[in-house]
Amino acid sequence: MPWIAKEGVEIYLTQEEMQNNATIFYNIFSAYGYTLESICGMLGNIQQECTINPALKQGESTELGWGLIQWTPSTELTDYADSQGKNWTDGNLQCELINREVLEGYGGRWLPTKDYSDTGEEFSKLTDVAESCKAFLYERERAGKPMLEYRLEYASNWYAFLSGKPPEPPEPPEPPTPSKHKKMSI
């Protein structure tokens, strides 16, 4: 199945199209050795950034973000694509670049922080979806806390989709213990 890439500004994918691209993304990153949880953490951020559309542009200017992780300026992505003799909208190329940034430190874009100090290798092995989502947000995206709740929800949903396990509902509270009191006559 090929990537679905719709080039332009504010061209968002449907749920079915996102599922197609998320499955491809998962297959690529699992082959690189990433855990399902770290992949879903990335996908939660990527859905927020571009609905998993590798051809989405934040705007026409090259000073704005383009691609799966909205490389800013977009020349970070387009120059890499040119050096590989490929089109910048190629989802496989973008996955290769993300992997190089995370695991090899390519371009100096993976920056551990005080709160999230994972190396790229450590990130790729995380086993908690929420922590993976936050780590990718703070160490790679650096978008701050805006939309964090959406990113976390999206990551959780991708985990449910890709693992085939729907999120488990919370445990219901224990019912109150019946009190032992006398019945009053009416």
Beta strands in 61-168 (DSSP E): none
Q: Environment class of residue 20 by beta-carbon count within 10 Å: exposed (0-12), middle (13-18) or buried (19+)?
A: middle
CA–CA separation, 69 and 59 (whole Å): 14
| 36-50 and 129-136 helices, crossing angle to 10° | 50
Is 49 one of the catalytic residues? yes
Tokens of 49: 């950034």
H-helix or E-strand spanning residue 3: none
CA–CA separation, 65 and 120 (whole Å): 22
From the candidates 7, 16, 37, 49, which is the catalytic residue?
49
CA–CA separation, 13 and 6 (whole Å): 8
Cβ atoms within 10 Å, residue 107:
13
Ordered alpha helix ranges (H), 100-147: 120-124, 129-136
The residues carrying an active-site annotation are 49
